Amino acid sequence: MLVGVTCLITVVAMEAMAVSTVMPIVEDDLGDIWLYGWAFSAFYLGDLIGIVLGGRAADRVKPVLPLLVGVAVFTIGLLIGGFAPSMWVLVVGRGLQGVGAGVVPAVAYVCVGRGFPASIHPKVFAVMSTAWIVPSLVSPLLASAVAVTFGWRWVFLGLVPVMGVVVCVALYSLRGIGAPDEPSTESAQIAMTFRLAVGAGLLLGGLSMDEPWWIAGLAALGLVVGVPALRSLVPPGTFSARRGLPAVVAIRGVLTFAFFSADAFVSLALTSVRGTTTLYAGMVLASGSLTWTAGSWLQARKIGTWGPARLERMGAVCLAVGLVVYVVCLFAAVPVGVWFLASAVCGLGMGTAYSPLSVVALECAEPGREGAAISALQLNDILGVALGTGMAGVIVTVGDRAGAERLTSMAMVFLVAATMAVVVALLSGRLSGPMPLRSTALNPSTAPS
């Protein structure tokens, strides 16, 4: 089963690393810099819908069924992105990719919850994070080479046949995971998820306007539409980060805002401020993915003794430091090679802080309700990415309209991200020290060597 899940995550990782690397080339071809952030936000807003669909469906039927639907939608999105004549069409394709990709992690986490004993969940999550290693090494280099040799469109189209092979492997390995003994009777709440996505879109769209009345009106409307929807989709107490599952869900959203709002714009910062190639930018991003995996394995070894709160605090502080180094790296006096150090520090912090939240979420979930718990976790996870990348795009757009130097805009993006990482460090105390409920079998000797 782990083989199928890992293969799916690998393809998703390949797409994420490839698009992040080549987006400056796409923007040069299609224009509309103000839609740069939307190429990421649309993907993750689509993820919101896919996550709820996948998690709730997996609580009712065999996980393989929603997985098939998700893969089909993801593939359609790849085709639309590959043939997009404008940035607007590309954004639509990215949204469909997000819907399909959102189903994959939700179903994967449910399969882990039902297919593996709780005592080895940390190691399983570490293995799943390792699925980023090959894409981290290959995807940025391959994406840059493909974009230069054949055109950026083949970065999308080239993944279509790969997805066909991978889904066959996944379906075979997951065929033994059945439906829950007592299927959930809850509504999938798709309407609320759409409402949340629309609300987030209105908020980001409003903030990117140049007229004060449009900014205030659309942003306020987005909050009115989106906040009640989010409240209905996450555990009670999430907004106040109440101890237990609500705190886990809240912290995950802030954490992903911090990391991905910066990560999505590293390639643009390197190419437009420091004058490097997208190939160089891809290698910088790859260094962060490698240390993310190292941080994930670190938490697998230490979570039983250190506890999730300590790991979360350590990871958040590490991430904040790396983001501040990004700001320093924008200046020409700093050797461009220091970007590798900044990315590596950010990745290590993220790997240390990210995986423990998944472990605690599964531990807090009621038996047979793993899908609902993971859906809430992944939903706030992706909402954090969507809002983070969207806000970063707003900062760049506003800066360009005001005539500010790109260095100034990029510095603001990284400083806002660092501030959010500090918030995570402050909230980490809401996680209990010892592992709760079903983790009693955890101890350091079970961690991988």
Task: Give the whole-angstrom CA distance, residue 29 versus residue 178.
Answer: 47
**Tokens representing residue 179 in the block:** 């439906």
Q: What local confidence, expressed as pLDDT, does residue 179 receive?
A: 61
3-state secondary structure of 21: helix
**One-letter amino acid for residue 437 of the chain:** L
Residue 299 CA: distances (Å) to CA of 81, 309, 404: 37, 11, 41
Dump the DSSP string for 321-364: HHHHHHHHHTSTTS-TTHHHHHHHHHHHHHHHHHHHHHHHHHHH
Q: What local confidence, expressed as pLDDT, does residue 436 receive?
A: 44
Task: Give the whole-angstrom CA distance, residue 49 versus residue 131.
Answer: 24
Q: Tally Cβ neighbours within 10 Å of residue 301.
A: 18
Task: Give the whole-angstrom CA distance, residue 5 versus residue 383.
Answer: 23
Predicted TM-score of the model (pTM): 0.81
Q: Within the chain, how many helices (H) and strands (E) appear?
A: 17, 0
**One-letter amino acid for residue 126 of the chain:** A
**pLDDT tens sequence for the chain (449 residues):** 567 777 777 887 788 778 888 999 998 899 888 889 899 999 989 888 887 788 777 777 777 788 888 888 999 999 999 999 999 999 999 999 988 888 887 777 777 767 677 677 667 766 776 666 677 778 877 888 898 889 999 999 998 998 888 878 777 766 666 665 555 555 557 788 889 999 999 998 888 787 788 888 999 999 999 999 999 888 888 998 888 888 899 999 999 999 999 999 999 999 999 999 988 998 898 888 889 888 888 888 888 788 888 899 999 999 999 999 999 999 999 999 999 999 999 999 999 999 888 878 877 766 666 667 777 887 888 899 999 999 999 999 889 888 889 999 999 999 999 999 999 999 998 886 444 444 433 333 223 32
Task: Give the whole-angstrom CA distance, residue 175 versus residue 387.
Answer: 36
